[in-house]
């Protein structure tokens, strides 16, 4: 086939797109801002869902490799109140959402691509629409290329998105402070015991301390607070001691095994304000360009769908291109007609869950939701 797809962004969605295209005999190039595959750590654990993420990996021909990195028991779930009292405890997990390390999953995808597919060190700074479905990409290193099939897989602050949409992500009112405690079982045994084998969600109105256990015993925490953007601006993460003290003060009356995930943090905390695009975000058809993943439908993480949707988007887009190799516009229309309602439905769910986690009845609403999952098995 004479098609060549230009992908911006080497996250999971862009990698799945390139891999499925390769399986289907279609060439692709990925342009990535980071200097190498090891330029930064790749975050925490991901639960890979059987109705989208696992389907995408199957289309990529990577099911066996995916199964080899599943962390047994890591899909266990606990919910507690601020005093550490367990309200829900499902240590055998729910079965359909096995957990993997994001970095290991990305490595599998990277290794599945032909050498030279990814152009590292290419930070996109501008896209110019030229007409006839062509776009010129200008990179910070001086490189310029022209493409007639551009896919923005470049995340929340996508440089490709403005070609299709004027919308920008908006702060949802909740921020995470990411923490790490190493050697959990030996150095932080009380916290490790509270977390159990998988994920703990300790919740209260307006705040929460969530954590999960990595394969090597590292405890990764996500401390959530409903706070204004002014509060975010006052948190000085360049001074970890002061930043952690400010956050810990918000949890002064919480159980010590929970607050230890803040006060005993072994690295500088990472502040992650949560942003989202409009729930029903979509765009008018622009010849020769489209989006996937967070670039298309950024949402809060309270349904665990971000990475799964991005991979599913990539696989579905690849299939649409392969189905219409001589009519790319039909391929993009076909892809977007399914993308928009799919992402809107999930965005509505994650917005409901965000409110449920920290509303005035928290944590009871979340307990009821997880009990419902168990009952429907």
Fold of 170-276: D-Amino Acid Oxidase; Chain A, domain 2 (3.30.9)
- Which token pair is 283? 């765009």
Q: Are 296 and 41 in contact (CB under 8 A)?
A: no
Residue 255 Cα to chain centre, angstroms:
29
pLDDT value of residue 94: 55
Indicate whether 163 pLDDT > 80.
Answer: yes
pLDDT recorded at residue 95: 60
- Mean pLDDT estimate for the chain: 94
The arithmetic mean of pLDDT across residues 349-359, rounded, is 95
Pick the CATH number of 4-72+96-169+277-356 from 3.30.70.580, 3.50.50.60, 3.40.50.300, 3.10.20.600: 3.50.50.60
pLDDT, tens digit (0-9, with 9 covering 90-100), for 305-340: 999 999 999 999 999 999 999 999 999 999 999 999
Q: Give the whole-angstrom CA distance, residue 235 versus residue 242.
A: 8
Q: Is the pLDDT of residue 178 over 90?
A: yes
Q: Would you state the pLDDT for residue 79?
A: 97
Element at 319 (helix H, strand E):
helix 306-323
Give, as one character, the DSSP assignment of residue 94: -
Per-residue pLDDT, averaged over 49-53, amounts to: 95
pTM: 0.95
Instruction: Give ranges for CATH 3.50.50.60 in the chain.
Output: 4-72+96-169+277-356
Return the pLDDT at 325: 94
Residue 41 confidence (pLDDT): 75
The 8 Å CB, 24+ separation contacts for 229-237 are 229/171, 229/273, 231/175, 232/175, 232/271, 232/273, 235/177, 235/271, 237/268, 237/269, 237/270, 237/271
Query: Mean of the pLDDT values across residues 25-39?
Result: 95
> Who's near 327: CB < 8 A, 6+ residues apart?
none
Residue range(s) in the chain whose domain bears CATH number 3.30.9.30 = 170-276
Instruction: Express each pLDDT in 257-298 by its tens digit.
Output: 999 999 999 999 999 999 999 999 999 999 999 999 999 999
User: Which pLDDT tens digit goes with each residue over 88-147?
Assistant: 999 775 567 899 999 999 999 999 999 999 999 999 999 999 989 999 999 999 999 999
pLDDT tier at 377, thresholds 50, 70, 90: low
């Amino acid at each position: 086939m004479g098609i060549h797809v230009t992908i911006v962004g080497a996250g999971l969605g862009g990698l799945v797109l390139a891999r499925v295209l390769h399986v289907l005999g279609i060439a692709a190039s990925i342009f990535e801002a980071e200097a190498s595959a090891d330029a930064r750590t790749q975050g925490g654990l991901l639960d890979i869902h059987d109705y989208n993420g696992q389907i995408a990996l199957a289309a990529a021909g990577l099911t066996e490799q995916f199964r080899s990195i599943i962390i047994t028991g890591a899909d266990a779930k606990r919910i507690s109140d601020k005093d550490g009292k367990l309200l829900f405890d499902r240590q055998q997990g729910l079965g359909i959402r096995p957990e993997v390390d994001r970095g290991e999953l990305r490595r599998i995808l990277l290794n599945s691509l032909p050498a030279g597919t990814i152009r590292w060190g290419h930070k996109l700074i501008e896209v110019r629409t030229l007409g006839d479905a062509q776009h010129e990409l200008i990179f910070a290193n001086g490189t310029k290329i022209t493409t007639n099939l551009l896919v923005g897989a470049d995340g929340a602050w996508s440089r490709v998105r403005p070609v299709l949409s004027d919308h920008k992500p908006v702060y949802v009112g909740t921020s995470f402070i990411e923490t790490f405690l190493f050697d959990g079982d030996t150095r932080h045994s009380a916290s490790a015991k509270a977390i159990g084998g998988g994920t703990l969600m300790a919740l209260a109105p307006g705040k929460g301390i969530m954590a999960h256990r990595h394969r090597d015993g590292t405890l990764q925490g996500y401390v959530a607070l409903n706070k204004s953007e002014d509060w975010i601006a006052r948190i000085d993460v360049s001074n970890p001691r002061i930043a952690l003290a400010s956050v810990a003060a918000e949890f002064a009356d919480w159980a010590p095994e929970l607050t230890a995930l803040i006060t005993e943090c072994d690295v500088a905390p990472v502040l992650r304000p949560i942003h989202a695009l409009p729930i029903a975000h979509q765009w008018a058809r622009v010849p020769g360009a489209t989006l996937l993943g967070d670039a298309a439908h950024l949402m809060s993480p309270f349904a665990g769908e971000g990475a799964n949707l991005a991979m599913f988007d990539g696989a579905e887009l690849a299939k649409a291109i392969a189905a219409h190799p001589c009519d790319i516009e039909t391929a993009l229309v076909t892809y977007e007609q399914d993308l928009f309602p799919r992402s809107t439905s999930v965005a509505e769910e994650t917005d409901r869950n965000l409110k449920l986690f920290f509303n005035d009845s928290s944590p009871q609403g979340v307990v009821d939701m997880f009990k419902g999952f168990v009952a429907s098995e």
